[in-house]
Chains A and B, each alone.
Chain A
Amino acid sequence: MFTSIKRIFKSGWQSFFRDGGLAAATVFILVLAISLATSLFLFRGLSQFLISSLKEKADISVYFKEEVPEIDILEVREELAKVPEVKEIKYVSREKALADFIQRHKDNPVLMASLEKVGRNPFLASLNIMASDVGQYQTIANFFEKLAFENLVEKVNYYQRKPVIERIFSLTSTINQAFLFLSVILAVVAILVTFNTIRLAIYNSGEEIKIQRLVGASNWFIRGPFLVQGAISGILAALICLLVFSLIIWGLSPKIEIFFPGLNIFQFFVSNFWQITLIQFATGILLGVISSTIATRRYLKV
């Protein structure tokens, strides 16, 4: 048993290096398939980043009437914090709102002059609310429609922002669906192309497999070296991909960060390194071995 396994590995190893051209073609196709799998994984990370940054931009603000004392607003905040859909609440006092406005527009003399003309703080205190999910803003807006709050609240800006929030909500689910659809299509294409390349490579060995059968070799003794070759091709292709992706991502990461501030793709690659390595090796080895198994089957019927 051990001798047979040793011979299968030795024979697979030998054939891989003796059939240099075919082995190179198989490795090349596997590199493409693994690159695709890796790109899909990285794209998923990127799209999740974009989705979450889009979601972060969606919030609603509740403005309180001028005469409402701060203590009441803080009470409302405490009440609101109990709503499970609420992720974060930020209280902006009238003074803070004024200070923020001045800070933001201090270089605009027209605005500053108008503010001076008003002669008092025209801003209202507000609660800035972020929901744990984009779909939950309606629930939060409903919270303020209760009678108890009617006298406190001046306006809820959800109703003005509703179309934007809903668009973000539908956009994120569209991105997710499109990604899933694209992944399935590309994965099927990669599997078919790889399988066909390996099938063509083994087609050349069809006569050889028949000879081995006639000499009295068992199916596993014949198939084993092809599986070993498939696995070697997969490992080699995975190593090439790992190297190429590391270099590309290392080089491109600063440039991508210019377009998407806060998105450090190299950091994402490093923190998911083992997961990516596993995806690459699993894709390479499984595609190589499964394709070889199917491709040799038809010649083993002699």
Chain B
Amino acid sequence: MIKFQKVSKIYPRNTIALEDVSFEIKEKEFVSIVGKSGAGKTTLLKLLLVEERPTQGRIFFEGKDITKIKSGKLPEFRREIGAVFQDYKLLPSKTTYENIAYALEVIGASDQEIAGDVPKVLEIVGLTERANNFPPELSGGERQRVAIARALIHRPEVILADEPTGNLDPYHTLDIIRLLLKIQEMGTTVILATHNREIINSLGKRVITLENGRVVRDEEKGHFIL
């Protein structure tokens, strides 16, 4: 489903973020990308979301080379992906309900679909009571659940989660990870970038380890080893 082929990303002043990275992710997989800060995890996810373009190599998404996507076609491509970020990236002037509905509005879903789907997803993430609150009125854990709800409402093929628990306490961390596992069980590919040792060791899923921009390990039932 996703294929990185000898991908390198070099930022100005010769800062190497990724070097010769190759791997493949199958449909409905749960893959964790681990590594120290600056190992290249975020860059890797940015390349998948075409927020950045690689300096070398090719990246395929469902057979299409996404490194060659034109800027005008990006919105269409991004609708196939759901993204969750460490800093939540919610729209501050929209309520919980509106933030989630926004992902459906951009794909042109009807008002009836939105009115039917948003309450269901709010229930899945346990935020029915918070539907009319604005992001600043929510806790960190709640905000991240809104972000996840927004990422999954349009039923994307894959969900990218970049350090989704980075700003959360252990209780909420567990909450979010359970949610991501549930999403994967429902049939969505999940790519999780994290440096949280406990999470990785408890998951028992595939782990790709990055070090200085290179893949140093890729294990089916991996552990956090740095």
A interface residue numbers (CB < 8 A to B):
3-4, 7, 14-15, 18-19, 207-208, 211-219, 221, 301-302
Contact = CB atoms under 8 A, between A and B. Distances in A.
A4 B114 CA distance: 13
B75 A211 contact: no
B49 A214 contact: yes
A218 B92 CA distance: 19
Contact of A217 (B75, B77, B83, B90): B75
Interface centre among A3, A208, A215 (most CB of B within 10 A): A215
B75 A302 contact: no
Nearest to B89: A211
Given A3-B111, A7-B105, A218 B93 contact: no
B69 interface: no
A217 B51 contact: no
A211 B103 CA distance: 11
Contacts of A4: 108
B108 A3 contact: yes
B40 to A, nearest CB: 19
B107 A216 contact: yes
Interface string B87-125: 001111100000000110111101100000000000000
Given A3-B108, A3-B110, A302-B51, A216 B93 contact: no
Interface in B35-83: 49, 51, 71, 74-79, 81, 83
Given A3-B110, A4-B108, A18-B93, A214 B51 contact: yes
Contacts of A208: 91-93
B78 A15 contact: no
A216 B106 contact: yes
B195 interface: no
A19 B134 CA distance: 13
Nearest to B71: A301
B206 interface: no
A215 B51 contact: no
Contacts of B51: 214, 302
Given A7-B105, A214-B83, A19 B76 contact: no
A214 B93 contact: no
B3 interface: no
A15 B108 contact: no
Interface centre among B89, B106, B110 (most CB of A within 10 A): B106
Nearest to A215: B103
A18 B91 CA distance: 13
A215 B108 contact: no
Given A208-B92, A213-B75, A221-B75, 13 more contacts: A4-B108, A14-B93, A213-B74, A213-B78, A214-B78, A215-B83, A215-B102, A215-B150, A216-B76, A216-B79, A217-B75, A219-B75, A221-B106
A265 to B, nearest CB: 44
Contacts of B76: 216
A35 B111 CA distance: 42
B150 to A, nearest CB: 7
Contacts of A19: 93
6 contacts: A3-B110, A3-B111, A207-B89, A214-B51, A215-B83, A216-B107
Contacts of B78: 213-216
B164 to A, nearest CB: 15
A208 B134 CA distance: 14
A3 B74 CA distance: 21
Contacts of B108: 3-4
B89 A214 contact: yes
Contacts of B90: 211
Contacts of A207: 89
A51 B103 CA distance: 62
A203 to B, nearest CB: 14
The 8 closest A-B pairs by CB, nearest first: A216-B78, A216-B79, A217-B106, A218-B75, A211-B89, A216-B75, A18-B93, A216-B106
Contacts of B83: 214-215
Contacts of B74: 213
Given A3-B111, A213-B75, A218 B91 contact: no
Interface centre among A14, A19, A211, A301 (most CB of B within 10 A): A211
A212 B94 CA distance: 12
A219 B90 CA distance: 18
Contact of B103 (A7, A14, A216, A219): A216
Contacts of B102: 212, 215, 217
